[in-house]
Amino acid sequence: MQSKRLKKSLEIHMLKKIFIRSSIGLLVATSLLFGYYFYFKYSFVEDLNYRSSVAETALGSIEYSLTGESDLVLLFIHGTPGGHDQTIEPSSYYRVLTPSRPGYLRTPLSVGKSPAEQAKAYKALLDSLGIKEVMILGFSGGGPAAIEFAAAYPETTLGFIALAAISHSEESWQRDDYEDEAFLNGSDFGLWFNFMLLEFLGDEAFVSFMLPNPINQQKLLKDPKQLENLKKTIWSIWPLSIRKEGFINDYLQESNLSLHLTDIKVPTLVIHGTDDILVDISQGEAIARLVPNATMYVVEGGGHMMMSTHSEEIEEVIENFFQNTVD
């Protein structure tokens, strides 16, 4: 009887030791995970700020990045969500100016909420930088502000490029609650953990999760440079907490768009992919139909991430448009 009690006592003691050690191990692992997360986030934001500048314009502070050496400037208006880090590489023909749109990163939303107000903000940025002319490119959710800029400032706009750009409201956007509400209300940590998990699972898992088209998946897996560009694009929506205000504003603005497409008189190029499930090709077709003398280039098999999957094709089309318009 006594030996049974002793045996039971030893078992309880062992279970306590296992529980304590497991708890300590879990606490240490959790502390290391969150420690690494906070270090990663701090370093990430520091790098974002290091790669950009802030201009004090007539309409307020506007963050921007400017890369390349050419005299010609491509004004890149990023999508939803994004920031100055969501951009394209400069070429030997043009340098790239990318402002963080109002509500994103270090550009306050007070600079401009509507597409027309944001267009005025970009003109104020150009004035503060002493840039007289630009080719403007509106990508995705940056399309509406780029459209308003091209319509309002023809003397400043060499040409307008609509890349997978939003041009009008869809009936499905007329809602008070958003399909992305869970995403909007998610934590920076949760999004970071999911991204890191995808990175950990490897390139094949990352690409298959991000790209629905199997052909585009295989194309990217064979091109390390463009795979890296896709990862940069994905990370350009994080941390969401310093992009959220702009994200929400974009949804509110896009639910009731009334843009001056027919007022655009500058050369216009529309680039849209046939497989874009985020911004349907009908959005690009509307621009090509309503803007006088606009040209449309259709990327076969191109999805919303076609700047990664079809980068060489798109870069060539953009550069040709530049040369034909400016020369």
Predicted pLDDT of residue 325: 92
Per-residue pLDDT of the chain (327 residues; tens, 9 = 90+): 556 666 666 666 676 667 677 777 777 788 888 899 999 999 999 999 999 999 999 999 999 999 999 999 999 999 999 999 999 999 989 999 999 999 999 999 999 999 999 999 999 999 999 999 999 999 999 999 999 999 999 999 999 999 999 999 976 655 444 455 556 666 899 899 999 999 899 999 888 888 888 888 888 888 888 888 889 888 999 999 999 999 999 999 999 999 999 999 999 999 999 999 999 999 999 999 999 999 999 999 999 999 988 999 999 999 999 999 987
Question: What's the token pair of residue 167?
Answer: 């041009």
Instruction: Give the integer Cα–Cα distance in Å for 58 and 111.
Output: 10
Question: What's the token pair of residue 110?
Answer: 């007070």
CA 196 vs CA 36, 201, 232: distances in Å: 12, 9, 13
Look at the chain and count its residues: 327
Buried b / exposed e along 234-256 (16+ C-beta atoms within 10 A): bbbbbbbebbbbbbbbbbebbee
CA 15 vs CA 8, 12, 64, 210: distances in Å: 11, 5, 58, 44
Predicted pLDDT of residue 176: 46
Question: What's the token pair of residue 70?
Answer: 């050419």
Q: Angle at the Cα of 87 (from 81 to 88), degrees rounded to 5? A: 150
What's the pLDDT tens digit per position in 11-31?
666 766 676 777 777 777 888
Predicted pLDDT of residue 187: 85
Instruction: Give the integer Cα–Cα distance in Å for 116 and 108.
Output: 16
| Assigned architecture for domain 55-176+238-326 | 3-Layer(aba) Sandwich (3.40)
Predicted pLDDT of residue 216: 85
Task: Report if pTM > 0.75.
Answer: yes
Q: Angle at the Cα of 314 (from 312 to 319), degrees rounded to 5? A: 95
Instruction: Give the integer Cα–Cα distance in Å for 327 and 325.
Output: 6
